Chain A
């Protein structure tokens, strides 16, 4: 190539925008293809049950401590933030409603998803990425073992189930944390808190809303972490980059889908 003229500022900008658009399209397309391949193995289910059990233990049971810490603190923070508002309205009995509504519909599913994305999703990418760079996936193929059915499907199911169960835990624990911190901060007895929670302003729909979200978030985290894990290239730094890409894509996906699910469920 002959000496190329130095590109103008506009060309550089256009190139940058174009590259990132193609990058996003490639990621979304890759995740869609992966979802198709996973679904093809799900009906009828062809998956490795011992691997599923191992993954469920590693993902769910081992995440319980951070979910407990996150949920208790989150509940307390919700009360601290809601306290001035209910005081202004002069309705301390409403603190259960205010904290419960925010927790059940948004904060508990969202924060649990972010923590699980950090712990389980990132870890899953690191594990798959390491397998890819050390050519273990190729070894599986050479042994005529389908990597999707053996590795990906159990992880996919594992992450989705984990997030659903952890959100149930987080809902309960965050409300517990909220009840006791509202006693400590604004002197509302836990029974009054419970009354505000169950007094008719909140229903099963609010809990269900959060749980539906948790399943959607779980799907996003599972797809993103498996996709970036499988497309890892370039040794140890490559694994780090994949993990980074996973947590960023999961977080962006969680927030964008949260919006649409909120609108759809109303």
Chain B
């Protein structure tokens, strides 16, 4: 809604007005997000290739997140096994399937979703802060002047790098969380490593679901945060706002995608 019409209706605004303008804003952001996504895909296929850009972004997104992700996933692995061990003790004091169930959950959902939430905070905030700073210092306008599309030049390398590195990092994260969980089970509940290392419950459906999630999250994070970065306005406060929105919206995107992919997997791969 334009500024003039906003001011014209401001006299008799109310709940319906707020609801309507929120809906219009939501629809518009959804459309713009879709357009950024479509243009990114187009440039992946047809764009100019800048040598080394994707590798640089892979280092930025991947290697620099590895330490952070290792710490958080290690701790979450210990917490999850500890909590489920406590509950198992309460209900059926039998730890033989603890490792197998944990691995199944990890492969199907937890490694991808929690790992991606961590990446959304680190990578998403980084992308939005970087692109947002470029927008407010008019570097993006300079790019346009040089006939370089910002989506082709800025978002595409991050998109490719993120899809690859999210998958790689999440496989690593799953390994870390599994080993940390195994150590917790061994020290807290005396579950032998051999019993814990049980892959009988993981089938191809779980693997496909997990890998689908990796790719979907890896694609969603740079698109959502890149869009938030490109729509920055208004100096240093604007950069802060863009970064905040990037983190919140990429996290929400992950939770919503998780719901839809999990529900689809529940229907496609019935247990």
* Distance of A86 Cα from B3 Cα, bound (Å): 54
Determine whether the beta carbon of A258 is less than 8 Å from that of B271: no
Contact of A236 among B78, B82, B236, B244 (CB under 8 A): B236
Contact of B79 among A84, A127, A259 (CB under 8 A): A259
Residues of A within 8 A of B82 (CB): 259, 262-263
Q: Would you give the 0/1 interface string for B237-271, flagging 1 where the beta carbon is closer than 8 Å to chain A?
A: 11111111001100110011011001100100001
Residues of B within 8 A of A262 (CB): 79, 82-83
Determine whether the beta carbon of B236 is less than 8 Å from that of A114: no
B101 within 8 A of A: yes
How many inter-chain contacts with C-beta < 8 Å in the A-B complex? Answer: 170
B169 within 8 A of A: no
From B256, which residue of chain A is reached at the shortest CB distance?
A73
Determine whether the beta carbon of B129 is less than 8 Å from that of A70: no
Q: Would you give the 0/1 interface string for B72-105, flagging 1 where the beta carbon is closer than 8 Å to chain A?
A: 1001101110110011001100000000010011
Binds A, one of B40-48, B116-124, B146-154, B191-199: B116-124
Determine whether the beta carbon of B243 is less than 8 Å from that of A76: no
A12 within 8 A of B: no
Count of chain A residues near B, Cβ 8 A? 58
Determine whether the beta carbon of B240 is less than 8 Å from that of A84: no
Determine whether the beta carbon of A243 is less than 8 Å from that of B129: yes
Determine whether the beta carbon of A251 is less than 8 Å from that of B118: yes
From B65, which residue of chain A is reached at the shortest CB distance?
A248
Q: Would you give the 0/1 interface string for A230-256, flagging 1 where the beta carbon is closer than 8 Å to chain B?
A: 000001111111011001101110011
A154 within 8 A of B: no
Q: Would you list the 5 A-B pairs with minimal beta carbon distance, nearest first?
A: A126-B240, A240-B129, A118-B247, A236-B236, A237-B133
Q: Can you sample 11 A-B contacts with CB below 8 Å?
A: A69-B256, A80-B262, A101-B87, A123-B244, A130-B235, A236-B239, A240-B242, A243-B129, A247-B121, A252-B72, A259-B82
